[in-house]
Chains A and B, each alone.
Chain A
């Protein structure tokens, strides 16, 4: 029994990490072959760094994912506070469903519908090119918001309602009480929401593809267009770097207090499984 379960574990790890291991290995290959390892070299990394379009795309992606994470964290936290203070149970349920639906929605549907909206409003306003950084930002904030709300809400629920009242009692206005007492309390949830929003933004392809114009290319879109031409190992180098960055982020994230974010993460995992099963079909 024990041997079997260990075997199972090994198999899982092989399936999960074999592709990544191969990719990392090949990124250090000195030749262009994907089947033969002819020697260790950083050639493809240099090649990648020489490619100004790739660097531009990386910069764009960082700008986009950081700004969308900041905006959605601020807006999402405020929304969570608002939802938490709702007294009417029915209204609260309704708002929560409205929040959850975009999470369940397949990316392709969200992407197409957002694009339609931007084109529609852009035409209405008589703009020449309506897809830009700003439409991309709006799109990313839209799909990030539910994750932020869902990671902040449990912390608010955990908080004894007498704690902000104690702050009022001691002379704080409601605003000061929020910053001095409530925000520190829900901070772990806010940070989780921010990291989640950042990673979701960073690796999004489908929605970005529909809502970005030609003027603003993200990394995922850039890689996709590179693959369409020819696959060169500098893409593997780039992917390896991104993997390393994500790994680092994950380690940092797991090292800080973890118990608090299990709830929100569980929701994300469940949703990913759901997507996996249903494929791209509409819900």
Chain B
């Protein structure tokens, strides 16, 4: 692809009160790209965004915009606009004046032009007829739209969005995801999007940047990230995965849970310990005697489209998603196709994720709730 680099982060480091929040971040962002920073709460996503927006200066490293270093350029001189996490609308102005703010600051005097451009924006975010409404009387979703319109009216090169859909309910969130995506396509403006929701990241982005603890774990397209996670952390964070200890016997051959599987990965060397990732939907349930592995079902949960089955295979609990019902406590066999097996090098995250032995839906729901409250 013949794309033009718009923003480069080079070795950005940032600490607050002696605590390292960003540790040597490097990232290229291209024109007309929808790029998402994805990671758990507190991993440094907002800080990265604020450095790009000009609200924080990095302790070391460079921010390059369109070829020029902009470390010391204040926010009001950058062709970048922001949709803030809690919208930050101006409470003393109505919808029209909030959106027109950028034009008035740019000293555009022609009221007709202002009116035309505000109306254009209102149309884009589906808020026609709301001009005179006071922003404090709007619902969360409507405030969100005003914030987007306000940020886009000056036609920035880049739009920064910090968890813009976090406060919306599920249905509205899905609609807004589609709208944002098509808005990005239509305007050609680079969107830098921050979220801790992996599903959102995968469905909207051209590029996903997985972050953890102030570092970038992996940069890639959604399919790359999902199918070829670089380490156990990414594999676990992006969707459900079984992450099993294995040994690379030879190229295209990996041994785990006592069985040698054919796989499509090579180049790890002989007899190298590796992490093996198998997605729950890629495991086939077969008769116990004909399976590559066999184990005992410990729990079955109906999920609508499929059943979620936890199987104990040689002491390791696997998660399997299958459309065929299996009975709890039944013995089953499992088959895994070569292209369903993804091999990763051992990393500091090995052994920390991808085992469903402590798995319970309630526990999951609980931890999700606390995560949202923190944000």
Contact = CB atoms under 8 A, between A and B. Distances in A.
B88 A166 contact: yes
A187 to B, nearest CB: 8
Nearest to B101: A170
* Size bin of chain B's contact surface: 20 to 34
Contacts of B84: 162, 165-166
Interface string A127-167: 00000000000000000000000000000000010110111
Interface in A7-42: none
Contacts of B89: 166
Contacts of A170: 76, 81, 101-102, 105, 150-151, 154
A266 interface: no
A171 B86 contact: no
A176 B105 contact: yes
Interface string B86-111: 10111110000000011001100000
B75 A165 contact: yes
B82 A185 contact: no
Given A162-B85, A165-B84, A185 B92 contact: yes
B109 to A, nearest CB: 15
Contacts of B91: 163, 185
Which of A171, A172, A180, A184 has the most B CB atoms < 10 Å from its CB? A171
Contacts of A173: 74, 76
Contact of A169 (B82, B86, B92): B82
Given A184-B92, A185-B91, A185-B92, A168 B74 contact: yes
B106 A169 contact: no
Nearest to B50: A165
A4 B92 CA distance: 47
A173 B85 CA distance: 22
B8 to A, nearest CB: 21
A181 interface: yes
Contacts of A165: 55, 75, 82, 84, 88
Interface in A241-274: none
Contacts of A163: 88, 90-91
A220 B149 CA distance: 57
Contacts of A169: 53, 75-76, 80-82, 151
B72 to A, nearest CB: 15
Given A185-B91, A185-B92, A168 B75 contact: yes
B154 A166 contact: no
B243 to A, nearest CB: 39
Interface of B: 53-55, 74-76, 80-82, 84-86, 88-92, 101-102, 105-106, 150-151, 154
